[in-house]
Amino acid sequence: MPLGDSITFGVGSSTGDGYRRDLQGLILNNTNTLNYIGSLKAGDFADDDNEGHSGAVISQIAAFAEPTLRQRPNVIFLLAGTNDINNGLDVSNAPGRLIALVDHIFVVCPDAVVLLGTIPRNGDATKEPLVTTYNDAVQQLVLNRTSMGEHIVIVGMDKITAADMVDTLHPNDAGYSIMASAWYEGLVTASINGWIQEPLAPDVQYQNEYCGSNPEWIAMGVIATGPGLGSNGGLSNCLAPASANQCTCVLPGPASVKQSVPRPASGNCADLNDNSTSVRFADLTGDGRAEYLWLDINGATTGFLNSGDSDTVGFLPQGVVATGVGAKREQVHFADLNGDGRAEYLWVHDDGSVDGWFNAGGPDDGPNAAKINWVAQGTVATGIGRDGAGVRFADLNGDGRSEYLYLEEDGAMSAWLNIAGPNNGPNAAQPGWLAQGVVATGPTNGATRDYIILADINGDGRADYLTVDETTGAVDAWINGGGPDEELNAAKVSWIFQGTIATGVGDIGWAIQFADLTGDGRSEYIDVAYNTSGASAWLNGC
């Protein structure tokens, strides 16, 4: 596993190979086998997988490393700290951060060996002494660890000279060749010590809970026919046509397609106009599988219990499971605030403040399990002085509790960490919120907030950042790589771009939703029909 920053990625080399191709040649020429692993690809050779993230500091590298470590590499080539030194980021404590990363590697991969490279020279004369001090401190800390039996080999990169650098930070081709030789010498040392073990299969948690690749979507067909409750909302300019029982409305999306939908019970076609979907999916029972919910224009919710299993989906009618509290449909959200697995009923006001109703469960765990008792919580978030249309809820740090999020029109996202409430009793859905600042700068594909979905795609418990194409339903994903710590900054996560993870089914993006229908922790791709509110789904086959 090549792990580090832009040097690991290969910035500065003419082919983008960095040291990795030369090192591959040295290893394979000596009758060994090699398979690089990592979430990124860079270089002009076949096995170009790596975990080198340009501009990343040690704490970010630690976050990026986590998913790939779960694949249980037997050798990790780690080079980190260049950007901490160059950016002047708490330089005196940088060696400690690096060793903390090494310690974590051994927690996840106790049978691995870590080849720990010293960072190359810095072309800035004022920073070169800091590089020397950093490298010396790291080597001393490694001596302490090896004395305790940890399998770490220090790999010195001091043979790289100014002539071997393409700029002040990155080696040129000659410099990368020197690095490859140094890495290989470290590998030989580890082998002589008897530290290199056969690679292990990914750990059980990784196999069962984490998907390390983009999903394979498996058609499940129609999972809900639409129970005759009406259209899927999101309609505008609804007018009465010649027929008495129909309204003609404009569907959401750039095409502004007109479609006839059933006239509402009020008889007033204008009552169909709103900016939200009627169909929602949320886990009301805490079994990990999302229920099918249909909301009328006043937020009253008709529920259908998800009675499926790991491969199938079925829905049992539950009748009205929430009578509404005065919120308009577009103001209603469902999210788990207290971490018990059951979604609360939330009213997001126009000013971004939130009233909550705690999901206290239903009368039984059988066929009526989604008939919920709701306990009023009062105001559970006072708002941030922004419009309620930008408010979202999703679990960013994997603790089971949803954060309060605000999306700008361009998709930039700020977060308030859910730090839980004062008790687990009747006020359990009254959490505290801790400001995290901007946690996502917005997508690079121009998607606006109306086409951004937060859902867990890989099953690691953390919501990923998804954009849906307005016209095709294609989906780009930024996987949630976790944050630098699990405490006060737990919602400041790193995002790993995965590219297009779903090519779309030809429907407009506004029809697409994601929810875990099978209880495996991974969200399915769901296409909801506008005229009937029926839904088709594609299983996230990982």
DSSP 77-137: EEE--HHHHHTTSSGGGHHHHHHHHHHHHHHH-TT-EEEEEPPPP-SSTTTHHHHHHHHHH
**Other Cβ atoms within 10 Å of 156 Cβ, number:** 13
Instruction: Let me know: does 400 contact 383? Beta carbons within 8 Å.
Output: no
Of the candidates 442, 452, 464, which has an alpha carbon nearest to the alpha carbon of residue 398? 464
**Other Cβ atoms within 10 Å of 379 Cβ, number:** 13
Q: How long is the chain?
A: 542
**Other Cβ atoms within 10 Å of 189 Cβ, number:** 15
Phi-psi sector, 420: left (phi>0), alpha (psi -120 to 50), beta: left
Of the candidates 378, 337, 343, 341, which has an alpha carbon nearest to the alpha carbon of residue 359? 343
User: Would you state the pLDDT for residue 304?
Assistant: 96
Handedness of CA 485, 491, 493, 499 (dihedral sign): positive
Round the CA-based radius of gyration of the chain to a whole number and report it: 26
H helix or E strand, kind and range, residue 173: helix 173-192
User: Would you state the pLDDT for residue 318?
Assistant: 95
User: Would you state the pLDDT for residue 43?
Assistant: 92
User: Would you state the pLDDT for residue 96?
Assistant: 92
8-state DSSP, 434: E
Instruction: Let me know: does 372 contact 321? Beta carbons within 8 Å.
Output: yes
Q: What are phi and psi of 454, to 5 degrees?
A: -110, 115
Of the candidates 250, 228, 223, which has an alpha carbon nearest to the alpha carbon of residue 239? 250
pTM: 0.64
Locus of tokens 């569907």: 251
280: its two tokens: 């929602």
Of the candidates 392, 378, 412, 535, which has an alpha carbon nearest to the alpha carbon of residue 463? 392
Q: What DSSP assignment string belongs to 290-344?
A: PEEEEE-TT--EEEEEE---SS---EEEEEEEE---S--GGGEEEE-SSSSS-PE
Of the candidates 391, 396, 367, which has an alpha carbon nearest to the alpha carbon of residue 291? 367
Locus of tokens 């004022």: 126
Q: What are phi and psi of 511, to 5 degrees?
A: -85, -10
Report, as ranges of residue numbers, the positions in the chain whose pLDDT lies below 50.
203-209
C-alpha 490 chain-centroid distance: 13
Of the candidates 471, 468, 454, which has an alpha carbon nearest to the alpha carbon of residue 415? 454
406: its two tokens: 């605000």
d(CA 134, CA 376): 55
8-state DSSP, 152: E
Instruction: Let me know: does 210 contact 203? Beta carbons within 8 Å.
Output: no
User: Would you state the pLDDT for residue 499?
Assistant: 87
Instruction: Let me know: does 288 contact 519? Beta carbons within 8 Å.
Output: yes
d(CA 495, CA 478): 5
Report which residue type is found at 424.
N
d(CA 172, CA 50): 19
Locus of tokens 């590089």: 131
8-state DSSP, 181: H
H/E/C letters for each residue in 526-541?
EEECCCCCCEEEEEEC
8-state DSSP, 470: T
